[in-house]
């Protein structure tokens, strides 16, 4: 029976029926023919990257963290840079889902699943770093408070133990949020699947969802509450990460602006990463009517706004240092601007401060290639920001006799490329097997 209704959702273009949308979205997961060589190319690249990650971790476990470039005085290097970078990327996913749901922005429906999945995989990549950086990851469970024969407990006054709680809670809540968002869609796929095995598997995963209003009622309550919990959770997670720095006395770290500045940076980086991934996928899978120019325009505006907050953070950092009259803070500022890592600072200002300003122009916000380029710049810029904050502050702090330089080793790069590969692999697996847009 032909069903043709004009949907109320003004963010979805064209004459769409409920059935048409269901079909468009589920077909990607239920049928193979929509995924061509490109899918295999990317999953292949991701798979190679994931192998590189496994090799890097295996050698790290065998040899110890001496294979990384961090040592005194720069004892936080790629591990913490990448940890903060990945977790920042993850934050956009939660914010897109949660905040946009709370403020009843209908346009969220087209991007939230994608963004939430990105969160999950990004947090997995992020979590690896501190876990491995402990040096003896097989005893990482020591970080959790449990009664033990040593009679010791974790030190709850340390921001690093706050991190343990923040990241593990964040991952768990993101997983629950993602999964309960998925339940009704899994049910739709269950009812459309034709192969018996697939149907049975989806039947188990959908938990027996039947669309009853009673179910929907409680579901919506739970979903809104989760969104309400996730929003402060995201803010707390990145604030706590920034406290890892701000609570210390290292010049350039001990500033009160860190929590809001880190949170804005996370949203900025996350939206850029969503766009970098989504733009190609949108055109390859013909999703232009579901992820419309309006969505892209909104996302670009959010990037512009958070980018300005981040840029304000950079200006404040210079102001703080100059106004403090503190010798070490003043030196840090000069060292950033003219020291051996000045190239990183100026590239950062270019990528995060100057390039995003083109988003003021509606023409750029409406151009897919331009958005892709700008968001790639921002992803690189946000990585550089963490580089400027971490090694550049550490390599020359109080005692000139203990100054040094930081040079990442091949294993640092191996691990970084490896996590990117793992992320790409997971995203393309997600694209193949799970409805990427809320049905």
CB neighbours of residue 197 within 10 Å:
8
- CB atoms < 10 A from the CB of 246, how many? 19
Under the criterion CB under 8 A, does residue 165 sit at the interface with other proteins?
A: yes
Our finding on whether 156 is near other proteins (CB under 8 A) is yes
Q: Hunting for tokens 């810029």 — which residue is that? A: 381
With tokens 């809104």, the residue in question is 224
**Residue 93: CB minimum distance to other proteins, A:** 16
Stretch that binds other proteins, among 31-39, 154-162, 382-390, 418-426 (CB under 8 A): 154-162
User: Could you tell me the sign of the dihedral formed by the alpha carbons of 285, 288, 293, 294, in that order?
Assistant: negative
Q: Does 149 bind other proteins (CB under 8 A)?
A: no
For residues 234 to 273, the per-residue mask of contacts with other proteins, x marking binding by CB under 8 A and - elsewhere, is --x---x--x------------------------------
Residue with token string 């077909």: 27
Stretch that binds other proteins, among 91-99, 220-228, 249-257, 331-339 (CB under 8 A): 220-228
**Residue 433 Cα distances to 34, 423, 430, angstroms:** 12, 15, 5
Rounded Cα distance between 413 and 435, Å, is 33
Rule CB under 8 A: choose which of 64, 66, 145, 362 binds other proteins: 145
In the DSSP assignment, the letter for residue 15 is S
Give the residue, chosen from 76, 78, 86, 209, that forms a contact with other proteins under the rule CB under 8 A: 209
Packing angle, helices 327-338 and 293-324, rounded to 10 = 130
Residues 103, 151, 369, 400: which binds other proteins (CB under 8 A)? 151
Q: Region of 17 please: left (phi>0), alpha (psi -120 to 50) or beta.
A: beta
**Which residue number, 205 or 281, has a Cβ lying nearer to other proteins?**
205
The SS3 call for residue 32 is coil
Residues 276 to 305: which contact other proteins by CB under 8 A? Answer: none
Binding of other proteins at residue 154 (CB under 8 A)?
yes
Summarize as ranges the residues that interact with other proteins (CB under 8 A): 3, 5, 17-19, 22, 145, 151-157, 159, 161-162, 165-166, 169, 172-173, 176-177, 179-180, 184, 187-188, 190-192, 203-204, 206-222, 225-226, 229, 232-233, 236, 240, 243, 439
């Amino acid at each position: 029976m032909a069903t043709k209704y004009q949907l109320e959702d003004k963010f979805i273009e064209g004459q769409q029926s409920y059935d048409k949308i269901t079909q468009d979205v589920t077909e990607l997961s239920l049928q193979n023919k929509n995924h061509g060589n490109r899918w295999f190319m990317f999953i292949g690249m991701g798979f190679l990257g994931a192998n590189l990650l496994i090799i890097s971790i295996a050698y790290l476990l065998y040899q110890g963290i001496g294979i990384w470039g961090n040592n005194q005085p720069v004892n936080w290097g790629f591990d913490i840079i990448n940890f903060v970078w990945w977790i920042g990327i993850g934050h956009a996913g939660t914010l897109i889902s949660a905040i946009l749901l709370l403020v009843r922005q209908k346009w969220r429906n087209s991007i939230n699943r994608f963004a939430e999945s990105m969160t999950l995989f990004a947090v997995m990549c992020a979590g690896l770093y501190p876990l491995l950086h402990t040096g003896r990851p097989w005893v990482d469970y020591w970080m959790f408070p449990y009664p033990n024969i040593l009679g010791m407990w974790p030190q709850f006054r340390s921001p690093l133990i706050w991190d343990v709680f923040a990241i593990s809670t964040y991952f768990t809540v993101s997983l629950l949020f993602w999964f309960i968002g998925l339940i009704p869609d899994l049910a739709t796929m269950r009812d459309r699947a034709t192969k018996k095995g697939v149907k049975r598997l989806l039947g188990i995963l959908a938990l027996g969802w039947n669309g009853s209003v009673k179910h929907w009622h409680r579901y919506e309550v739970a979903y809104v509450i989760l969104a309400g919990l996730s929003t402060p959770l995201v803010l707390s997670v990145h604030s706590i990460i920034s406290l890892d720095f701000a609570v210390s006395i290292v010049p350039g770290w001990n500033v009160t602006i860190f929590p809001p500045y880190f949170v804005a940076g996370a949203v900025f980086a996350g939206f850029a990463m969503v766009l970098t991934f989504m733009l190609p996928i949108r055109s390859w899978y013909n999703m232009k009517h579901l992820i419309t120019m309006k969505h892209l325009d909104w996302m670009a505006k959010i990037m512009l706004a958070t980018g300005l907050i981040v840029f304000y953070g950079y200006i404040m950092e210079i102001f703080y240092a100059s106004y403090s009259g503190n010798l070490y803070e003043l030196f840090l500022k000069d060292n950033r601007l003219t020291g051996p890592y000045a190239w990183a600072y100026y590239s950062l200002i270019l990528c995060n401060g100057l390039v995003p300003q083109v988003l003021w122009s509606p023409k750029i916000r409406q151009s897919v290639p331009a958005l892709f380029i700008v968001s790639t710049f921002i992803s690189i810029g946000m990585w550089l920001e963490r580089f400027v904050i971490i090694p550049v502050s550490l390599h020359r702090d109080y005692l000139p006799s203990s100054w040094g330089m930081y040079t990442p080793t091949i294993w640092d790069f191996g691990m970084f490329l490896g996590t990117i590969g793992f992320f790409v692999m997971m995203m393309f697996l997600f694209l193949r097997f799970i409805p990427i847009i809320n049905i």
